[in-house]
Amino acid sequence: MKFYIRAVLFSFALLVGIQIPAFIQQYKLVSTARLAEAELNLAGFQQSAEEFFGGSLEKLIVYYQQNEDVVLNANGRNINQIYLRVEQLKQEQKIFEQASPIVFIHIVLDGRQEILQQTRQEYSYMVPLNPQAVVWAISTACIFGLLFESLCFILFFCIKKLFFKRRQSV
């Protein structure tokens, strides 16, 4: 029975691991699309900054925000939000220059929630058989296997120790 549990766990981990490179690629595509959209939204304001503020978008934002006209002031806040969004998404793009394990850890621990949500919604499960997917699959399966074996050993050890104590006290 223990063998079948190991085999099922290993197979499950293999299937999960083989999905990781495709999921990373999908996350990157969503992130890139969002950056392109945000840059497009900012483009008109960047043109105004080029024309009136020597190309400094920051000066344009300050100009809008310091204006006494409430409409212009509100626009300054909106432009600033778009600008900050572009900068955050550019930082996100730099992560993709790292090795895939680092990218995966970033996505799992610090991925942008809205990008993760869209990635999950649009992701279609597949079984790619390229070298990177196979390495991820085998690595994930081995790690899960080791964790399972370690957990079983610890549980067996604790149960054995507890049972042995009870037998000595009787």
Q: Average pLDDT over the chain, rounded to whole?
A: 89
The count of domains in the chain is: 1
pLDDT digits over 34-53, tens only? 999 999 999 999 999 999 99
Query: What pLDDT is recorded for position 160?
Result: 80
pLDDT tier at 1, thresholds 50, 70, 90: low
Q: Is the pTM of this model over 0.85?
A: no
Task: Encode 19-78 in three state secondary structure.
Answer: HHHHHHHHHHHHHHHHHHHHHHHHHHHHHHHHHHCCCCHHHHHHHHHHCCCHHHHHHHHH
Query: What pLDDT is recorded for position 8?
Result: 82
pLDDT digits over 108-151, tens only? 999 999 999 999 999 988 777 788 888 888 888 888 888 888 98
> CB under 8 Å to 127, separation ≥6 — which residues?
15, 18
Range of the domain at 66: 2-169
Report in angstroms the alpha-carbon separations of 58 from 35, 50, 77, 91.
19, 11, 11, 18
Query: What pLDDT is recorded for position 99?
Result: 93
Nearest to 126 by CA among 30, 2, 49, 23: 23
Average pLDDT (99-112) is 94
Query: What pLDDT is recorded for position 148?
Result: 86
Please answer whether residues 103 and 95 qualify as being in contact, where contact means their C-beta atoms are separated by less than 8 angstroms.
yes
The two tokens of residue 88 are 């955050």
